[in-house]
């Protein structure tokens, strides 16, 4: 095994089982039967070995197509004011494929354009959308480069959005940065060969560079995504107060004066659903978090962070009563609970504005 390889064992109980044997992943999936379809947006991960090596930005192994994709992203215009990066990963032709992420991305783009007046030119999408012209795939390198574009030359008054719909995992934290001992990750399209993007990297890339007067909202529809931006404050809806999430190591996880807010599909130890439970026809798959997020904002033109969070939680609880048999949405009867984290404490009764 080379120093860049990782041997992993994956297991998503009750709906998925993925076992790593000598570096080869073997997958077995099952689906819920009945009117509604539901699927977990993530896998539990247990790392047997984890070896680190810094990679150059453009390794010699990059194909001409991959280099062209990176060049395209680097040439994206840095529009001042509002700009957004939307990533949807279906993992097409893979056994752990998700069926609702493309729909999620399309609907989020509509929300940003028509509800929050984002110019279409300021929104870039990484997804497996064949119907879109010049679309780029959500590979690890493309996502990393696009995240750098998102915060490039940010300045006072900018409103930035990062949205991700796909699989989320956890892995052991070896640097005393996590209170629960686990780093959270998002899974790019090529995570099996290139690896995951961990919360430490996301924090370094899009949180630390935020300047005074800049606000970043991250909406992450994935399993184990509660603290995916590694922000130092997490809001507890049960205790109705901010909880200290600063790393035990003492390393700084804040911004350069700006404000970062993350709205996640669930807590770090929970699973999120890719489901048709909210569809009128019972057929359209979409992320439970994405649907309830959009619904809360479309139904309330004066939504606050508090009302947004409450609406999302109430809709998921209502779906549980309606579709109590959906294990993918309600893993072992535990409902996914949307969570807000922030680089600083603030009043959740503030208006939600992008």
Catalytic amino acids? 167, 223
- Phi, psi angle pair for 14, to nearest 5°: 75, -25
Hey, is 14 helix, strand or coil?
A: coil
Q: How far apart are CA 113 and CA 109, in angstroms?
A: 6
Distance CA 210, CA 215 (A): 8
Tokens at 323, concatenated: 């579709």
- Distant-in-sequence, close-in-space partners of 236: CB < 8 Å, separation ≥ 6: 242, 243
Degrees to nearest 5, angle at CA 269 with 255 and 38: 110
Structure tokens at 268: 């770090």
Report residue 163: phi and psi, to 5°: -125, 135
Six-digit token string for 293: 């997020």
**8 Å CB contact between 40 and 15:** yes
Say if residues 330 and 275 touch (Cβ distance below 8 Å): no
Q: Whole-angstrom Cα distance, residue 68 to residue 81?
A: 27
């Amino acid at each position: 095994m080379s120093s860049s390889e990782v041997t992993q064992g994956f297991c998503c109980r009750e709906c998925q089982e993925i076992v790593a044997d000598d570096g080869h992943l073997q997958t077995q999936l099952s689906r819920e039967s009945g009117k509604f379809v539901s699927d977990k947006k993530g896998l539990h991960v247990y790392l047997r070995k984890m070896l680190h090596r810094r990679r150059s930005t453009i390794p010699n192994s990059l194909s001409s197509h991959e280099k062209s994709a990176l060049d395209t992203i680097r040439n994206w215009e840095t529009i001042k004011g509002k700009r957004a990066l939307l990533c949807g990963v279906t993992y097409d032709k893979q056994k752990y494929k998700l069926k609702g992420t493309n729909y999620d991305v399309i609907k989020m783009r509509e929300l940003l354009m028509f509800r929050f007046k984002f110019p279409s030119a300021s929104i870039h999408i990484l997804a497996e959308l064949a119907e879109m012209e010049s679309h780029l795939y959500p590979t690890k390198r493309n996502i990393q480069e696009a995240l750098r574009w998102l915060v490039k030359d940010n300045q006072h008054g900018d409103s930035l959005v990062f949205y991700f719909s796909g699989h989320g995992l956890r892995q052991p934290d070896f640097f005393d940065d996590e209170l629960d001992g686990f780093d959270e990750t998002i899974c790019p399209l090529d995570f099996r060969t290139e690896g995951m993007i961990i919360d430490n990297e996301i924090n370094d890339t899009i949180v630390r560079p935020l300047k005074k007067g800049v606000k970043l909202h991250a909406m992450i529809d994935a399993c184990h995504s509660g603290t995916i931006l590694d922000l130092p404050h997490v809001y507890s809806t049960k205790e109705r107060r901010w909880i200290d999430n600063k790393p035990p190591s003492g390393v700084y996880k804040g911004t350069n004066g700006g404000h970062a807010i993350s709205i996640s599909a669930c807590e770090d130890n929970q699973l999120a659903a890719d489901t048709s439970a909210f569809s009128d026809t019972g057929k359209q798959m979409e992320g439970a978090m994405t649907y309830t997020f959009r619904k809360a904002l479309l139904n309330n033109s004066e939504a606050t962070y508090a009302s947004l969070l409450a609406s999302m939680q109430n809709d998921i609880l209502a779906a549980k009563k309606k579709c109590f048999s959906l294990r993918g949405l309600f893993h072992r009867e535990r409902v996914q609970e949307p969570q807000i984290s922030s680089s600083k404490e603030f009043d959740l009764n503030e208006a939600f504005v992008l």
